[in-house]
Amino acid sequence: GQQLNQSPQSMFIQEGEDVSMNCTSSSIFNTWLWYKQDPGEGPVLLIALYKAGELTSNGRLTAQFGITRKDSFLNISASIPSDVGIYFCAGQATDSWGKLQFGAGTQVVVTP
């Protein structure tokens, strides 16, 4: 089953609106990653976070590594139609080689 609690499960927003989603974990992670997956494709890495408190941007996307190291947030500003997809958070614990634990995903639907 899922290791991380990701919310919301889905979002229906209008073009131009901002989107926020978050993940919480009972475990401490040393890395948080955010991915986007389109139908029939593999997840695409959007942002990687390595330090507690770190805030990183990638274009209209901004993500933060929570100071407790048990949570992370992703914001999408001024959404556009191509932002449609499923967004996943993933965390990796110390000494957990190559093992990412994934949230259940947030489905984003953007209407014109």
Contact with other proteins (CB under 8 A) among 35, 65, 73, 87: 35
Is 51 in a helix, a strand, or coil?
A: coil
Token digits of residue 47: 């942002």
Is 37 in a helix, a strand, or coil?
A: strand
Contact with other proteins (CB under 8 A) among 21, 34, 43, 106: 43
51 binds other proteins, rule: CB under 8 A: no
Interface with other proteins by CB under 8 A: which range of 14-22, 35-43, 61-69, 73-81?
35-43
Question: Residue 43: what residue type?
Answer: P
Contact with other proteins (CB under 8 A) among 14, 42, 82, 112: 42
> Is there a contact between 74 and 12 (Cβ–Cβ < 8 Å)?
no
